[in-house]
Amino acid sequence: MDEPSGARPSGAIERLRDNIRRCFYGNADAVHKVLVCLLARGHVLIEDVPGVGKTTLAVALARSIDGSLARLQMTPDMLPADILGVTIWDRKREAFEFKPGPVFHNIVLADEVNRTTPRTQSALLEAMSEGQVSIDGTTHKLLDPFMVIATQNPFEFEGTYFLPESQLDRFLMRISLGYPGPENEARVLVNDPRRTALKEMKPVVTTSELVEMQDAAAAVRVDPHLAAYVVSLASATRGSDRFQIGVSPRGSLALLRAAKAAASIDGRDYLVPEDIAGLAVPVFAHRCVPREADFDAEGGTAERVVAQVLASVPSPV
């Protein structure tokens, strides 16, 4: 029997997940969410304290795909041209020639993205939202697939620049890893995967397979009632007195894309309410701005405030 439209190619996700887990022993749910972002053609911001495996997870994902990887250590002196590329004069040809920057890779890892200036951060906006960059009046298409994985430390603010809402909105999800459990931390101490498994890691999925999986996720069917459910969730953030800014229609689209990718990973070509509800917080939280008084009084995170607001929206049967 032919595989139904929207179902994932069998085994590919398992190969990716198993390969990543060879060197990343931490939060399995975080691995799932990163894979959802990958299939949804989205970008992910991994925000957590140093030393919990943010970079290891990102590099493991990139090396599991038979594509190109660019790793950027973001610093205050970095310029947009260091990411996008530059046009130079070729004396032999007597013509200008474009030299592409690191953004012209399949996976771009931006380490400590909040350490570079807003000017340089904004250089990624067009690339992340449209899959292209415009330089000197010329538009250059990026590779397909293309994904930005950015990391940042949410507690060390000296010498950092907060990501503006417009930049945060380009990330499909913001996730955190948390500390590994005692058993997994002991495995890290014994195996030291960054010095062994990560260096020896080989690709297990080709870029053409990945594009097929992304196309299958995009083809997942959406019942009108579930589309209305997404709108209701977004409307709850806009109408809540606990937020200064709620989720925009772009955020609604992001949640639907993520939910379709989650359904595809589960082998379904249709959505169920759990696909949407399970991803609403990591997709919506960084797109909402809680009111300071309410935020401080509750002593909670943006994720907690968003979860409380979304809990008021009934799920469709």
Model confidence over 173-204: pLDDT tens digits?
Answer: 999 998 888 998 898 888 888 888 888 889 99
pLDDT tens-digit map of 264-279: 999 999 999 999 999 9
- What's residue 135's pLDDT? 85
- Strands 95-100 and 85-90, by their bridges, are antiparallel
Q: What CATH architecture applies to the domain 220-317?
A: Orthogonal Bundle (1.10)
Better pLDDT: 118 or 35: 35
- What's residue 18's pLDDT? 92
Percent of the chain past pLDDT 70, that is, above it, reads: 93
What pTM was estimated for this model as a whole? 0.89
Specify the CATH class of 1-213 in words: alpha beta
Residue 293 binned pLDDT confidence (cut-offs 50, 70, 90): low
CB atoms within 10 A of CB 79: 13
- What's residue 10's pLDDT? 55
Residue 220 binned pLDDT confidence (cut-offs 50, 70, 90): very high
Better pLDDT: 292 or 251: 251
Q: What is the mean pLDDT of the chain?
A: 87
Q: How far apart are the C-alpha atoms of 282 and 153, rounded to whole Å?
A: 17
What's the rounded mean pLDDT across residues 129-154?
A: 89
Weakest mean pLDDT among 64-78, 98-112, 297-311: 297-311
- Whether residue 149 is predicted with pLDDT greater than 90 in this model: the reply is yes
Residue 9 binned pLDDT confidence (cut-offs 50, 70, 90): very low
Numbered ranges of CATH 3.40.50.300 in the chain: 1-213
| DSSP secondary structure of 67-112 | S-EEEEE--TT--THHHHEEEEEETTTTEEEEEE-TTSSSEEEEET
Q: How far apart are the C-alpha atoms of 260 and 222, rounded to whole Å?
A: 8
**What 3-state class would DSSP assign to 40?**
coil
Percent of the chain past pLDDT 90, that is, above it, reads: 50
What tokens were used for 181?
Answer: 């459990």
Numbered ranges of CATH 1.10.8.80 in the chain: 220-317
Instruction: Tell which residue, 224, 317, 217, has the closest CA to residue 273.
Output: 317
